[in-house]
Every structure is written in C-alpha cells, then in structure tokens.
Structure 1
C-alpha cells in the first residue's frame, strides 16, 4: 500500500515522503481500517516538526483523524494509532474507540466531524457552559477548529463574533454564520469587539491561536467571562497575568480534549451522539474547502501549517486526479 512517512523532523512539505509499505498489522484491541478520508489537523504539522506533545517513533505516518471502513463494511470515524496514521491507504485504530460515521455526512465531512467539533463541544459546553443569548468570540473563525466553534456557537443560540485574517477569510466566516466578523489585518480587534458589544465584551472567548490573540482576549472578555484556551497555532504560548484575571473577574479554562478519551470516554461517545444529531438536522456541517488525492497530502499539510487554508482540507486516498474543491 501507499503511505506518507516521516523519517526526520522538519517542515511537512520537506520531510513527508510517499512510499510503498506493507499494510499495518493491528495489535491487541486494534482493527485494520481502509482509509476513506483523512482530515488534516494542525497537530499533523507539529508532529512533522517534532513540536507536538505526542512524538511517535520514526518512521511514522501522520494523520490523526479519519473516516474509515472496517473489514466487515462499517463506516466509522477514528483516531489512528500512531505510527500508522491516516495519510495512507490503510491505518489501524483502537476498536473500542470507533464511532459510527453519521449518515448525513459524506466521507470527508465525517472525517472532519471528530477532533475539531469534539473540541468545540467540550470547550463551549463542558468547560465554558455557553448559554443561549451570550456573546461568543472565536479567533481564527475561518479555520478548521474555529469554523466548528462558530457553528456550535450558533447552534447553541449564541451571538458569534469571528476574528479572521484577510478578506477571503472574512467571506468564509460570514458564510459560516458569524454575526460580526473582524479582520485582524485591517481592524483593531479590541476596539471592534468592544464596539460590537456596546463595551461589555464577550462572555466566552474561544482561542486556538494564543500569542497576540490571547492578549486581545483578556482585553475584551466580559465580567464573569470565560476564555477557553484550545491551542497555540501562532506558535507563542502566553503567560497569563493572574492578577488581571482576578481584577476583571474572568476565568481561564484549559481544554485538552484528548484527555477525555482516557479520563471519561463515555463523555466522548455522548458528545458524538450530540454532534450526530446536530448534523442530521443541518445545524452543523464541516466546511471542507479542499479534497486532495493521497499524492497531494504533503503539500496540503504544509499549507495548513502555513495558515493559508480555510475550513478543513481532507485527503481522499481513492481520489486519483490531484486536488479538487
């Protein structure tokens, strides 16, 4: 079979190599899956760079989120067991963690429903307890993680303000349903959010960016607001001033979704059931901006790493004619 492999750390476009390898052999409690679609996540790029908290043994195949097919024909969503990741024709995953792929979504959409939407659901509902009528601010609102949070926020009845970078991403954020869109490249984010909220600020801030975005969050979070720290796509990990959180009376909430898989896996299943129901009634639908063939995976991962994509870019091993919309 064909699989992308990483044998040394570096930029994805430089260190990912497509190779002919043997199919992975499932271990105890694992199952072999034919990869129908593999969604690209920012951690895939970080693993290539050697900067992620999980460092699989080399050579490894990136791809942490797939829609796959079991040997008995079931269509499932899974997180592949590294080093046998999803940017390949076959992967392996823990059988106990398989989730049924929603019938309302195609393979690419189903692959993209998992990590980003689970993170959004846990962040907004389990951690921040977002309520209908509240204002939600989402950084990187046109990206894969941000777009999921926007849709989940709207489904929960929140007023959503999206922060993006560039005119093309402004258009995407508006299509996603943001009530207000702020272009950080041409606008003062703090001033724009304060104006949009009548000076009150956002009740919940969803931040997968870190760096300057986090600093902006602390300036626009409302009284008794909650800042959900999801990741650091900017590459800069903030050092929060706890005296500031005390004086302004807001909460800083960390979210590591992966921990729920070991600490409380029943909640992951419950979340998937909620997401499946939302997808069935059309309240959420993963934004797939590109579907690329397996041969285009390295270039696609690099573009996600560079922050020039919108929504989700998904690899389809069965696609043989390059990239498509």
Structure 2
C-alpha cells in the first residue's frame, strides 16, 4: 500500500512539474508565439502578423531567437523574409506553401534547413545558401516552380533526395566541392536545366537524379564517381553528350534503351582514301584509334581518355 501511495505521489509531482514548465516556456509577444529552449534561447512557433515583408527579430522579450519551428510561417501571404543573425535552424515545413514568397535573405550563422522548409513556394526565384549550412533536408525546395538560380556553396556533404524535384524553371546551380553525394530525384523534372558542373569530390549520383531534364545537353562525370542510380539520365536532351571520367560503368538502367539514340560517346568511321577510325566525344576528336581501308573488317581495341564507353557506333551502326 505504501509503495502504491509513493508511486502515485511521484507521478503526480512529475505531472505538476511538467505542467508548470510548459506554462513557463510558452509565451507570445505581439506578432509571435514562442517557446523557451533548454539553453534559454527561444524558438518561434508561429507568426500572427500580416506584413508582406517579414524581418525575423534577433530577440524577443530579451531572449535570443535561434530557431524557427515546424509550420511556423507556412501558408501565409509573405513576399520577402529576412533572417536574423542569431538564427541557426529552420525546421521542417517552416515556410512551406508561401505562394507569393519571392525573396529570402539568409543569415551567415545558419546551420540547418529542414525537410520541405521551402517546398511549394511557387514565386521564389533565387536561393543563395550561406557557407555555414551543414544540412539541407529532403525536399527542401521541392516544386519551387519559379526557382531559376541556386547557389549551394555551403558545407553540406549530401544533397538529399527530392531537394529540387519539380523546379521546372531551374537554369543555373552552383555546388560546393564538399558535396560527395547527390540523392534520388534531386533534379527530377528540372526541364530548363541545360548544363551542370558536378563537384570534383562527387562519389554517388542517385536514382532518377536528372530524369526529365529535357534541356540538359551534356554532363561530365567526375573521376571519383563510383555509383550512378537507375534512370539517372532518363529523358534528357536528344543530343545529350556524356563525358565519363570515372571508373563507373554506363549501363542500360542509367539511360533506358528507348532513349539511347546518339547520346553516348561514340566511335565514328570516316571514309576517305584509307579510312580512319576516331574516338569522338560529341564533335571533339579524343584519340585516333586505327586506320583501315573501306570495306575492311575492323577489330576495335578502344582506350578512351574520357573513361568507359557504353555505346559504340561505326558509320551509324550500333556495336555491342
């Protein structure tokens, strides 16, 4: 009996303490509701104002604002956001579905952008991520359909899956050499993307990474890449050229068979007095491999300066 009473007292005391703490840490100040974190700083939980240009305050009630909570600014009529200097974290879904958001001024101390943080912000045109950011969550800029320019000169190692999925206006992206992995579907559906410079330290390219990039005309695979996912290059430009400097094998599953025509490094037989065989990458001659007479049976022993070759064509005929 005594044990039961004691247990009840402990549970009751814990509930009272938690209730007291909850009341203590949650507060509001004008246009913001917030909660106090364990370190004494605060996280904004919601914005109740009506301003179209919002400047996140450095402090509220004398406490430093270091984090923006989940869903705290979503579905609002905001056109411009300026982040305060003390902010280190944008949580998941913080700014999702702001239809009129055109500009975000990031701060230099930001460390983390959560998943879907800016997803479906259809008026956002440009993003410049500060160097100190170490994590960008999945789908962070998913379906930002007006987004044209992105600067990822930051400290992230991985571009998580779906980050720029469906960004149909994306034309230019700059990536830091710190990036070693590009996840699944990252640029899927970016139909205006014509060219991209992949980081020198890149190791893996995810499934359907560039699928549907119908304007993409060329890509150079860095020497260190060891893995390319299924359908990574499906549906790119008809005259697409690939420059493969790595040891990875370019196979059917990367570029589906129905899309193979005239898109890979090819060997072309030129017919002249003696005939010649040249290894070509697009219109650029890489290396002369042999000299043959027209009509001769040719055994090809190919060594390429641009890496492995998947498709070989002689006089328009595909060779296995």
Using the size of structure 2 for normalisation, the TM-score is 0.22
Which of the two has greater helix per residue?
A: 1
TM-score under structure 1 length normalisation: 0.22
Task: State which structure, 1 or 2, has the greater radius of gyration over its C-alpha atoms.
Answer: 2
Greater relative contact order structure (CA < 8 Å, 6+ sep):
1
